[in-house]
Structure 1
Amino acid sequence: MRRYLDTAFATLGAIVVTIFAVIMALIFMQVINRFFLGLPLFWTEEVVRMLLVWMVLLGTPVVVYQCDEIKVELFHFKNKHLETCRYVLVAILSIIFCAFLAYWGYRFTLRALGTMQPSLGISRAWLYAPISLGGMLTIIAFVVRRDALNEQSDEEDLT
């Protein structure tokens, strides 16, 4: 099962890297067209904005699954039991936040189905769809992620 999860999240990571490469190519193309050729492309700004939202919200589950998120620890307990409780509490609060994100992202997506992007001519829902998708995938990532607490205690044992 772990192999399938690793493959799924690695594929999601590859999608995020591809989106980033497309964003960079579009920005480069826009700069060349606008400042050197004098022919600005009217659609690139909206595409880049939309792809940026997709990249961030699809990248979050990958980071969570790999336990690579930035950690700001205000409290660090020497007691292993208290440290485990803190870790579980943070995970539960994060899952609740992602559930709200998924729910409200879904609501925004439904509300935006009837509106169109001005220059692209596609539904504005494509801008909001990654919010609910990213929230749901992040919840899954929190549930199935590698055991960060054991990895963290292993690192502390080595020092």
Structure 2
Amino acid sequence: MLEYIQKADHGLAWIERGLVVAFTGAIACIMVAQVVMRYFFGAPLFWAEEISVQMLVFATLFGLSLLVRHGQLVTIDFLPNALSPRARHGLSAALGVVMLGLFAFLSWLGWEWIARPEVRIELGATTQLPRWWNYAVLPLAAAMMAWHQLAAILRELRAFAGGAR
């Protein structure tokens, strides 16, 4: 079972990496097109800034989820480094449970927020697209972070139970 969870975690990270690359490349293409259209043809793309900002937020949130997956969030690690490897895995699992709760709560709050009628009717200033599509990325990314955190907790518990020294 643990192997399936780890494979699913790896697959989700692969998808997130592809999304981050795609969004970053799309931002670059849109902004280059915006410069060309504005300064060479005098006809700027009226939607370029709004879409680029949205894609930047998407890339940032999915990138943050990748940082959770790889355990690369900023941490204060003087206490874990002072512990034995087995105790370090136990502490990491305990702290991971706290983070899992935080990510799950953030995701739940996000879904509750975008389900509100006043949020569902908001439209983008230039694109006139429903903004809840953009807002939905936050709880989605938080749910992905929760999944990655769950997989990390299981890895830490396996290392703890295996008696890492």
Question: Please, what TM-score do these two structures have when normalized by structure 2?
Answer: 0.77
**SS in structure 1 at match of 2:128:** coil
What's the C-alpha RMSD, in Å, of the aligned pairs?
Answer: 2.5
Partner residue in 2 for 1:13: 17
4+ aligned runs moved over 6 Å, structure 1: none
The reply to whether residue 98 of structure 1 matches residue 107 of structure 2 is: no
1:12 Cα offset (Å): 2.2
1:85 Cα offset (Å): 4.2
1:119 Cα offset (Å): 1.1
- Take 2:59 and 2:122, find their aligned partners in 1: how far apart are those partners? 22
**SS in structure 1 at match of 2:123:** coil
1:77 Cα offset (Å): 4.5
Contact 1:33 1:39 in 2 (8 A): yes
Partner residue in 1 for 2:28: 24
Segments of 5+ residues of structure 2 without an aligned counterpart are 160-164
The reply to whether residue 116 of structure 1 matches residue 123 of structure 2 is: yes
1:141 Cα offset (Å): 0.6
**Worse-matched range after superposition: 68-77 or 53-62:** 68-77
Partner residue in 1 for 2:39: 35
Contact 2:9 2:148 in 1 (8 A): no
- Take 1:107 and 1:3, find their aligned partners in 2: how far apart are those partners? 30
**Worse-matched range after superposition: 53-62 or 136-145:** 53-62
- Take 1:148 and 1:52, find their aligned partners in 2: how far apart are those partners? 32
Whichever residue aligns with residue 143 of structure 2, its letter is M
The reply to whether residue 59 of structure 1 matches residue 63 of structure 2 is: yes
Structure 1 residues 118-155: Cα deviation after superposition (integer angstroms, max 9, x where no partner): 211111101210111011111001111384696xxxxx
- Take 2:93 and 2:9, find their aligned partners in 1: how far apart are those partners? 21
Identity %: 20
**Worse-matched range after superposition: 136-145 or 76-85:** 76-85
- Take 2:74 and 2:44, find their aligned partners in 1: how far apart are those partners? 38
Segments of 5+ residues of structure 1 without an aligned counterpart are 151-156
Whichever residue aligns with residue 40 of structure 1, its letter is P
Contact 2:93 2:156 in 1 (8 A): no
Question: Please, what TM-score do these two structures have when normalized by structure 1?
Answer: 0.79
